Amino acid sequence: MNGTALMERAEAPAAPVAVEIPQEQKVVLPFEKKGEYFVEQVGEIPKKPIYAAIKRIFDIFASAVALAVLAIPMAVIIKNG
């Protein structure tokens, strides 16, 4: 091959190739078709004030325990640092 043939090949931009996808392989998303899916309404979720209070107390207690446990290595690092 001579130098001009290589130059011509390098300068020609590559054309995008369109590939036809068969119909059975195409993905159909729910918003592309109207009325093909159903979302059930669950209504109002009942309130659970006692459960929420117990959960909040447990969260505070667990956080306090974690802070107490992690305070020991933090004190050692600060003292030796």
Tell me whether residue 81 is in a domain. Answer: yes
Domain count, the chain: 1
Q: Whole-prediction pTM value?
A: 0.43
- 22 assigned to some structural domain: no
| Residue 30, in any domain of the structure | no
Q: What is the pLDDT of residues 49-70, one digit of tens each?
A: 999 999 999 999 999 999 999 9
In a domain? residue 72: yes
58 is a domain residue:
yes
Domain that holds residue 76: 47-81
61 in a structural domain: yes
| Residue 59 falls inside a structural domain | yes
Distances (CA, A) of 81 to 18, 68, 71, 74, 78: 64, 20, 15, 10, 5
Per-residue pLDDT tens over the stretch 35-48:
566 677 778 888 99
Higher-pLDDT residue of 55, 21: 55
| Residue 13: CA count within 13 A, CB half-sphere | 3
